[in-house]
Amino acid sequence: MSRVIITYGTFDLFHIGHLNLLRNLRALGDKLIVGVSTDEFNLLKGKQTVIPFADRLDIVRSLKCVDMTLAETCWAQKADDIRRLGVSVFGMGDDWRGHFDTLRSLCEVRYLPRTPGISSSALKHCLAHTA
C-alpha cells in the first residue's frame, strides 16, 4: 500500500523554504499531494497574495517532488481531502504546530522544521520597505 502525504499552503513568492518543506514531505512517503490556497480563500484568511493562484498552482505543480496538486478553498476541506484521497500523513511547517492536531483521528500529523531565516512574510516586508 502506498503512503500518501498531503500538505497545504499559499506558496506565494515561492522560495527555498517552500522547496525544502515539499522535498522533506515527499521523502516521508510514496506520493505528495499539495493543496494551494486560492486567492479567495487567502482573502478570507486576511492574506493578500502577490502571485495569482493559477501561477502559484503551476509553480507547485511543476516540481518533481509533487505528484498532485489541488485548489484549497476552505479550512474544512482538509479532513474531506484526507478521507477522499486515502492520505496517510498530513504535514505542515512547525509554525503551525498544534493547529491541525484534530486531524490525528484521520491520519498521522507531522510538523516539519522551517528553513531558518526565510519566509514569504519576511520577503514581502523587505519588498515593501525597498520600494
Could you list the active site residues?
A: 45, 47
CA 2/CA 4 separation, integer angstroms: 6
Place of cell 516521508: 28
CA 23/CA 27 separation, integer angstroms: 6
CA 125/CA 28 separation, integer angstroms: 32
Identify whether the C-beta of residue 38 lies closer than 8 Å to the C-beta of residue 70: no
Q: Is 5 helix (H, G, I), strand (E, B) or coil?
A: strand
